[in-house]
Structure formats: C-alpha cells, structure tokens
Structure 1
Amino acid sequence: MVLKTFGWSFAITALGLVAAVFYGGWQAFGVVAILSVLEISLSFDNAVVNAGILKKMSAFWQKIFLTIGVLIAVFGMRLVFPVVIVAISAKIGPIEAVDLAVSDKEMYQQLVTDAHPSIAAFGGMFLLMIFLDFIFEDRDIKWLAWLERPLAKLGKVDMLSACIALIVLVITSMTFAANAHQHGGMHVDKGQTVLISGVLGLITYMVVGGLSGYFENKLEEEEEAEQEAEEEAKKTGKPVSAAVMAGKAAFFMFLYLEVLDASFSFDGVIGAFAITNDIVLMALGLGIGAMYVRSLTVYLVRQGTLDDYVYLEHGAHYAIGALAVILLVTIQYEINEVITGLVGVVLIGWSFWSSVRRNKRLELEGSTAEA
C-alpha cells in the first residue's frame, strides 16, 4: 500500500536529488533536500484538508490529482509562479523575468520579496475564508466543544465569514501595511496593494468554492439518480448520461483543490528564498515536497484515516487559520518558516492525540456496555 501510493514520490525524489548533484554538486543536493523537508512540513495540513475533499471523488479523479495536478503544482506554483511575480512586479515580459532569474539572482529575489505583501494578502484571505467557513458550520463531531458550539450558533448569521474576513483585511491594510515604502524611486502604497490583493483572494475563494459546492451538491443528486438511470437503461437499452454531470462536478472540485494547494504553497515559495534564490533548485526541492504532499493526501483517503481519527480535519483547519494569520502578519514582520511549520504540526498532532483518546474511550465504553 505504501509503495503503491508513494512509489512515484520515491522515484521523483531519487531523480530530483541526482539532478541536483549534476546541476550544482553536493551543496545543491543539500539545498534540495532541505527544501523538500520544508515543503512537506509546511503543507502537511494541506494534505489533511485535501483528503477530506478528495475522498468524495472517484479513483479516476484521484489519479488526475496525482498526475496533472502535480504538473500544475510543480511547474505552475513552484517554477512559473515566482517568475510571474517578478514579471508583474518589474513590469517585464516572462522571458525577461526568466533571464533575470538566471543572470541576476539577487535582483530576482528582491523583486519577489517586494511582491510578498500582495501574495500574503491574497493567500491569507483565501485561507482565512476556509477556516472561518469551517468553524462557523454546525458539526455533529466537535473537537474543542467549548469553542465550536458558540461559533456554530454565530454561524447561522448569513455572510458572517465574509464580513469578518473583510474586517480583518481592512485592519491589516491600516496596520501591518499602513506605511508606504520606496521601490525603484516610486512611492508605493502598501495599504492599497494589500487591500486589492485581499479582495481578489476573497473573490477567488467565493467563485471557486461556490462553483465547487454547487457541483458537489449536483454530484450527490446525480449519485442518487444514477441507480434509477441504470435501471432505465437496462429496460430501454439507452446509454446513461448521469456521468456527464458527475464529471463536471469532479472537475470543479479538482479546480478547487488546485486553488487551495496554490494558496498553501505561497508560504513555501516565499520561505524557499530564505534558503536559495536559484529557481532550478527551488523547483526541484519544492517539487519533491509537493509530490509527497499529494501522495500523503491519497494515502489518507485510501486508508480511511480521516474516518478513524475524526479530529484530524479539525486540527488541519485550525492550522489553516493560524497560517492565514501568519501570512497577514508577515506583511510587516518576518516570521521564521520553522515557526510556521511547527504551528501546523503541533495543532495536527494535538488533534491526532485527541482522536486516539476518543477512540480508546469509545472502545472502553463499548466493552463496559457489553459487560
């Protein structure tokens, strides 16, 4: 099971490390290895959340997530995304941005750093909305019941998540991003930049999440009607058309997963510049880490881990909330990536431990009842 799920990740790791040695020697090997660990540690909560969505999808779309999704994650977010940031920030073409990344790595890193407020605001708002929608939903299983019960009651107020997110964004733009800064001789208003980027992150979440939710509901309706359609097909000999809507629903869920992964990868991409500004090494290291995150997602789905350890999803979403806050704070203050990774690990570890205790308690209560 482990080899089947993580086989491609092991293979990509070997190829990536060998490529690093040929590219820059053993020093490059060490950099790629460190970046891989950084990506995995920062994105473990991403795997847990993704698993909750991926388990609703068919085996076919799980394979798409591991193949096409990986290409998007590795080449899109880990290689193309930093180049696009530089191209937009410096108002140059993509080819010139690539040339800059190769010929003037210091300038390339500086341009990406200057674009960090926009990235942090966009990703922070997207992740904050995921967290708020989760904690304001009334769930049968509650982890921190003393906190989640009153929040679930507040969640009955329409559009509360969006209102709170906008309030947080306005406060962020007036505090962390309040001071203007100089870049290239131009006066840039960080507050306005952060405000616009945050609104775009909010809009992206609403559009993609709304479409995903809509088609997910349609998928459930189609699954209920599928049996009737199959019975009708047997009688009439006509093909079943229910799979069309199922495919459309799965596509939008896949799209939602990719946007979610992109938001999670912001901190990894920015954090990677603290280790290296070589885009080749960055793509290799973060790409290897992205493979493991995807394999871990599929592993959690196939093992039914989220069903056995019911608080894991809660812990992951609390980690998302913490990451959203950290991203917004980094608009003004620098926070070490180790701290970012540890926050997620601690919250997920705590939720796992709570799940184990719950399972033991239920098992003990069942044994007592039988006795």
Structure 2
Amino acid sequence: MTVRVFGASFVVTILALIAAYLYAGMSGLAICAILAILEISLSFDNAVINATVLERMSPFWQRIFLTVGILIAVFGMRLLFPLAIVWATAGLNPVQAMDLALNPPANDAPAFPDGSPSYETLLTDAHPQIAAFGGMFLIMLFLDFVLTSKNLTWISPIEDPLSKVGRLPNVPTVIALGALIIAVQFAEPGDTTTVLTAGILGLLTYLVVNGLTGFMESEEPGSGEPGSDEAGSARPGGPTKATQAVGKAGFFLFLYLEVLDASFSFDGVIGAFAITSDPILIALGLGFIGAMFVRSITIYLVRAGTLSEYRYLEHGAHWAIGALATIMLVSIHVEVPELITGLIGVAFIGAATVSSIWANRRDARSDDQPNSDEQSGSDRSDVGTAP
C-alpha cells in the first residue's frame, strides 16, 4: 500500500527536482528541495486534519480531492495566489506581476518608473491581512473541536472544562472575535481596517462553508443523527462514520477541505519568500512536491486506519491548529520564525502519538489480565481436584 499511495509523489518529486535544475541550476535544485522538506515537515498536522475530513467523503469525492484538489493546491495557492496579491495591491496586470516576480529589482529598488516595490515586498506587506484571514478560519476550527463535548479526551483537565463552556451558544464565535479584536490593537495604524475586514471574512468563510457542509450532510439519506460520530461524540457538521458524504454534501465537504488546506498554506507561502522570491521554485517546492506529499500522507492515514489506531492523533492535530492560529494572529505585528511554527506542530502531533501508544498498551494489558486470572484460577482448580 505504501508504494501505491506514495508512488506518484516520488515520481513528481524527481520530475520537479529535474525541472528546478534545468530552470536555475544546482542552486535552484537545492532551494526546491529545501522548500519541499519544509512544507512536508510543517504540514503533518494539515494532513491529519485533512484525513479526518476525507474519511467522511465518498470515494468519488476523495478522488476529486486527489485530482482537482491537487491542481488547486499547486497552481491556485502556490502560484496564482501570490500573483493575485500583487495584482490587487500594486494595481499591476497579470503580465507585469509575473514579470516582476521572475525579474526582481536589485536591492529591492522600485521595479517600475511609478515606484512600484518588489514582488517580495508586496507579498510581505500583505501578510497581516493574510494572517488575519487564515488565523480566524483556523481558530474557529480549533474552538469548534475543543468546545464540543466528546467521549474521548486527551488533555482532560483542560478539555473537560472547555467542553462545559462550549454548551453556551455561539461561544466559539465570541472567543474568536475577541481574539481578533486583541490582534487588531497591535496592527500597524494603516492596517487596522484591512486586518479587521480580513479577519471577519475568515470567520464568515468558516461559518458559511462549515454550516452548509453540516446542513447538506444532515439532508443525506441515511446520514443518521447529524453531528455525531461512532463513539457518540458531537462533531460539528459531521455525519456518522458509517455514512459518507455524496452529492451536494460531498461538494461542500470538498469546498470546506480546500479552504482548510488553503488556510494552512497561507503562512507557508509567505514564509517561503524568506528563502526565495522566485514563484517558479516556490511552485515546484511547495506545490508539486510538498502538496503532493501532504495528500499522499492524508490518503495513507485514511486507508491505514491510523486515526483509529492512534486515538489522540486528531486531538493533537487540533491543538497544533490552535497554536498555528495563535501564531498567525500574533504575526500580524510580530514576526514569528517558521521554525517555531513547525516545532510546535510537531510537538503536539508527537505527544498525541506517544499518548496513543501508551493508551493502546494499557488497554492491551487490561485485556490480558482477566485471561491470566482465569487461567490461574483454572490451574488452582485443577490442583485442588487432583487425586
């Protein structure tokens, strides 16, 4: 199964590295490899969350995610998204934006006679708005998870009280808006309005897409009681795991997954400009290699049943999302190194994996103990009745 799931990713990696070498020589190949490694290492929490959504989709919509979805991730988010920001912020047409990206001015000098700044500068200047949008979307995802009552908890001293708070109506939205208001206070004076607008749009996007997804899933024949999983825990907008979303529900779940994937990639795309401003190398490293491997990991987690085997993995991924959302809101005013972002995510995922292994071993010992006691009792009985 491993070869079948990751085979295409390895082929794409080889082709992308060859393309990077032909495009920019050994330096281009090295930059492409570095970007790919960073994207893969920092996106494991993305893959885990994607897997929790993907397992709720029908095989048809899973294939759409792996085909159309990869095109959106590669060309939409890693290539067209940065260019679209330049089009919007600098008033350049697409040809000028691409020329500015491929031919950056020396020493960040103005690229055009009218004083337009460099491609990298334009993207960096747009970071507060991007961080506000992505941060609000992700913090809503985190809050909807930790504020929902669940039969299974990981960090129980924290999650149990939070689930009680979550019984109050609209608590996730209230907390998210409070976080946005605090973040806006630290934004640059000229960015206050745009940051606030971007954050509200991120919040509305989550509410609309998640709400439509939940509604469509509840309308599916045989979907059962909406908002619950097999264990009986409430999952916002989710059907029982025994059913999979098809039709309109599958489409909105696909749309939700794409927006979620885009929110994860915002920070990575902007952070890539600390290494290179070349959009071709960014598309090859982050898109073709990184996005392909994230999708392969997602499929592997679903098909191997990893989420069921490692019971706390989903919890760890959501806590990593909460940390990432907080970092994105903080980065509106303070620059946060990518290394810190990645290490926090890895720490939560690693801790959740270790906790799952310990829990599995504890359960295995508990299952074996009665058998041992029964066997011992049987032996004692045999001894007592021997002539």
Query: Match of 1:86?
Result: 86
User: Is the 1:16–1:284 contact (alpha carbons within 8 Å) kept by the matching residues of 2?
Assistant: yes
Provide Cα deviations, 1:295-343, integer angstroms capped at 9, x if missing partner: 1001000000000101000000000000001111111111111111111
User: Which residues in structure 2 correspond to 1:160-179 (within 5 Å)?
Assistant: 160-175=171-186, 177=187, 179=188
TM-score, normalisation: structure 1: 0.90
Could you tell me whether the CA contact under 8 Å between 1:121 and 1:195 is conserved in 2?
yes
User: Which amino acid letter does the alignment assign opposite residue 268 of structure 2?
Assistant: G
2:274 paired with 1:274: yes
Task: Tell me whether 1:118 sits opposite 2:129 in the alignment.
Answer: yes
CA deviations on 1:179-222 (whole Å, 9 max, x unpaired) are 33xxxxxxxx2111111110000011111111111122223x34
Shift of 1:223: 5.1
Is residue 210 from structure 1 mapped to residue 211 from structure 2 by the alignment?
yes
The one-letter code sitting in structure 2 at the alignment partner of 1:118 is Q
Q: CA deviation at 1:294?
A: 0.5
1:90-169 to 2 correspondences below 5 Å: 90-104=90-104, 106=108, 107-169=118-180
Q: Which residue of 2 aligns with 1:319?
A: 320
**Greater relative contact order (Cα 8 A, min sep 6): structure 1 or 2?**
1
> Using the alignment, how far apart are the partners of 1:29 and 1:280 within structure 2?
12
Counterpart residue identity of residue 193, structure 1: T
Q: Is the 8 A contact 2:61 2:246 kept in 1?
A: no
Contact 1:35 1:286 in 2 (8 A): yes
- The amino acid that maps onto 2:29 is F
The answer to whether the 8 Å contact 1:222/1:246 transfers is no
Normalising by structure 2, report the TM-score.
0.86
Tell me the equivalent position of 1:234. Answer: none
CA deviations 1:153-190 (Å, max 9, x no partner) are: 11011100000100110111012x0x33xxxxxxxx21
Q: Which runs of 5+ in 1 are unaligned?
A: 181-188, 225-242
Identity %: 55
- The letter of the residue matching 1:268 is G
RMSD (Å), alpha carbons: 1.5
Match of 2:261 in 1: 261
Aligned partners of 2:314, 2:218: CA distance in 1, in Å?
Answer: 21
* 3-state SS, counterpart of residue 291 of structure 2: helix
How far residue 12 of structure 1 moved from its aligned partner, in angstroms, is: 0.6
Structure 1 contact 126–205 (Cα < 8 Å) conserved: yes
Deviations 1:92-135 (A, max 9, x none): 22232112212226400000000000000000000000000000
Paired with 2:283 and 2:352, the residues of 1 have a C-alpha distance of: 32
Q: Which amino acid aligns with 2:172?
A: S
Distance 1:193 1:213 in 2: 30
SS in 1 for 2:169: coil
- The residue that corresponds to 2:305 in the other structure is 304
Other-structure match for 1:58: 58
Amino acid at match of 2:8: W
Give the distance between the partners of 1:101 and 1:331, measured in 2 at CA: 24
Tell which structure's C-alpha radius of gyration is larger.
Answer: 2
Residue matched to 2:341: 340
Deviation beyond 4 Å, 4+ runs, structure 1: none
2:113 is matched with none
Partner of residue 15, structure 1? 15
- Between Structure 1 and Structure 2, the one with more helix by share is 1
2:83 matched to 1:72? Answer: no
Do the aligned partners of 2:58 and 2:246 also contact (CA within 8 Å) in 1? no
> Quick one: distance in 1 between partners of 2:43 and 2:27?
25
Q: Does the CA-based 8 Å contact 2:317-2:349 persist in structure 1?
A: yes
| CA–CA distance in structure 1, aligned partners of residues 3 and 63 of structure 2 | 15
1: CA distance, partners of 2:298 / 2:141: 18
Distance in 1 (alpha carbons) for counterparts of 2:25 and 2:169: 57
Aligned AA for 1:320? I
The 1-side partners of 2:267 and 2:44 are apart by: 13
- Cα 1:208/1:192, change in 2 over 3 Å: same
CA contact (8 A) 1:16 1:285 kept: yes
